[in-house]
Amino acid sequence: MAEELNPFKIAQEQLDMAAKLLKLDPAVHSVLREPKRVLEVTFPVRMDNGQVKTFKGFRVQYNDARGPCKGGIRFHPQETLDTVKALAAWMTWKTACVGIPLGGGKGGVICNPKEMSRAELERLSRGYIDAIGMIIGPELDIPAPDVYTDPQIMAWMMDEFAKIRGHNAPGVITGKPIPLGGSQGRGDATARGAVYTIREATKKLNIPLKDATVAVQGYGNAGSYAAILLKEMGARVIAVSDSKGGILYEKGLDPQAVLQHKHKTGSVVGYAGAKEITNESLLEEQCDILCPAALENVVTGKNAPRVRAKIVAEVANGPTTPEADEILFKNKVFDIPDFLCNAGGVTVSYFEWVQNTYGLYWPVEEIHDRLDKIMTKAFNDVYDMHLKHNVNMRMAAYILAVQRVAEAMKLRGWV
């Protein structure tokens, strides 16, 4: 039978496993299996040719027991409500896992930003905020960037929200440009947080980071910075890819130069001196550290037996299916689960929200230092849970996160 790849079913399945191990109160479990609030919107956008097109979007608020909902907005042609629900659930576990006082949410619009002009994207961004404006706010639900959304889009969204409310409210959204209240260090925060967890994992596994070989799938915001930072820490980035294909150079790529090539040509493919490979084969390259940093469900029951990396660092959300998880665990591939590995983005988003609330801004060194402390502690908390319960790192992260959310729900008297 084909493996079930509905991301929300996968998220529920993962929660069910954690609930069983935790002997979770069935009432808490039942609340945690579904989002608290789902908003589906359709809204008109005037295109550059004068015609009006209708777009569909979602905002899911999964759980706010530990604080306001928090989660990015994706612009993607294949966006589905179930994907947004899964991502909102994972945000709930992510904020709890790293111990920041926020809940989980997520948003998305079905659109193809690659086929839209900047002016059309601005009208789409404003239209989406008009449609969901009544359920977001600094104390309610705080969106952020995700796949194919960027700081400029956050700026338009913040401005639209300010117009609706009639006053500035920079804390409504994070990932803003710095002149509009964005935080230092937000640009590379997801990758930097991931790299801190990779550093901790290599210590536990006795793999020297110096000259460790790295393959990165997805060369966008998260993937390209991960490659750059890992190279800075002495690792050798041998393969990277994007939606158009991959490149391999065993002596080690220059990630900055690859990024410049991608900016110039639109893809990493065609980078001088490197061998072209497929996205699928990148996942099976012989390397120490594999970073899936694109979309979900790329390591599956089918290809997991062929993964030869020692560490899989899930920079992307949901890249590994449950069937693949079991195979990796059996094959002693050490997996750093998504909601631990990529929590650096939401952690610096949290710093941005705190700075907006105080109107007081921190230097980048302070951001890096605080991020390192939070990520290192979270990694070690999850690692200890992994040893204590003899479960893989994902289950350990679930146990930790679900326990924390359940405790907040009980203290509030919800269950």
Catalytic residue annotation: 106
Is 242 a binder of ligand NAD (CB under 6 A)? yes
Q: Which stretch binds ligand NAD (CB under 6 A): 16-24, 141-149, 163-171, 196-204?
A: 141-149
- State in angstroms the smallest separation of the CB of 388 from ligand NAD: 27
Of 63, 241, 347, 356, the residue at the interface with ligand NAD (CB under 6 A) is 241
One symbol per residue from 263 to 302: x for binding ligand NAD (CB under 6 A), - otherwise; what is it?
----------------x-------------xxx-------
8 in contact with ligand NAD (CB under 6 A): no
Tell me: does residue 219 bind ligand NAD (CB under 6 A): yes
Residue 317 lies near ligand NAD (rule: CB under 6 A): yes
222 contributes a contact to ligand NAD by CB under 6 A: yes
HEC-encoded secondary structure of the chain: CCCCCCHHHHHHHHHHHHHHHHCCCHHHHHHHCCCCEEEEEEEEEECCCCCEEEEEEEEEEEECCCCCEEEEEEEECCCCHHHHHHHHHHHHHHHHHCCCCCCEEEEEEECCHHHCCHHHHHHHHHHHHHHHHHHCECCCEEEEECCCCCHHHHHHHHHHHHHHHCCCCHHHCCCCCHHHCCCCCCCCHHHHHHHHHHHHHHHHHCCCCCCCEEEEECCCHHHHHHHHHHHHCCCEEEEEEECCEEEECCCCCCHHHHHHHHHHHCCCCCCCCCEEECHHHHHCCCCCEEEECCCCCCECCCCHHHCCCCEEECCCCCCECHHHHHHHHHCCCEEECHHHHCCHHHHHHHHHHHHHHHCCCCCHHHHHHHHHHHHHHHHHHHHHHHHHHCCCHHHHHHHHHHHHHHHHHHHHCCC
Measured from the CB atom, is 146 or 200 closer to ligand NAD?
A: 146
| Interaction of residue 315 with ligand NAD, rule CB under 6 A | yes
The reply to whether 147 sits near ligand NAD by the rule CB under 6 A is yes
Could you say whether residue 312 binds ligand NAD (CB under 6 A)?
no
Question: Which of 57, 127, 171, 223 forms a contact with ligand NAD (CB under 6 A)?
Answer: 223
Burial (Cβ within 10 Å: 0-12, 13-18, ≥19) of residue 104: buried
C-beta closer to ligand NAD: residue 19 or 341: 341
Q: In this chain, which stretch among 97-105, 165-173, 311-319, 395-403 interacts with ligand NAD, using CB under 6 A? A: 311-319
* Minimum distance of ligand NAD from residue 330's CB (angstroms): 25
- Cβ at position 326, least distance to ligand NAD in Å: 22
Q: Judged by CB under 6 A, does residue 347 bind ligand NAD? A: no
Site for ligand NAD in 153-182 (CB under 6 A): none
Q: With respect to ligand NAD, which residue has the nearer C-beta, 151 or 168?
A: 151
Q: Is residue 316 a contact point for ligand NAD (CB under 6 A)? A: yes
Q: Does 148 bind ligand NAD (CB under 6 A)?
A: yes
**Interaction site with ligand NAD (CB under 6 A):** 145-148, 190, 217-223, 241-243, 279, 293-295, 315-317, 342, 345
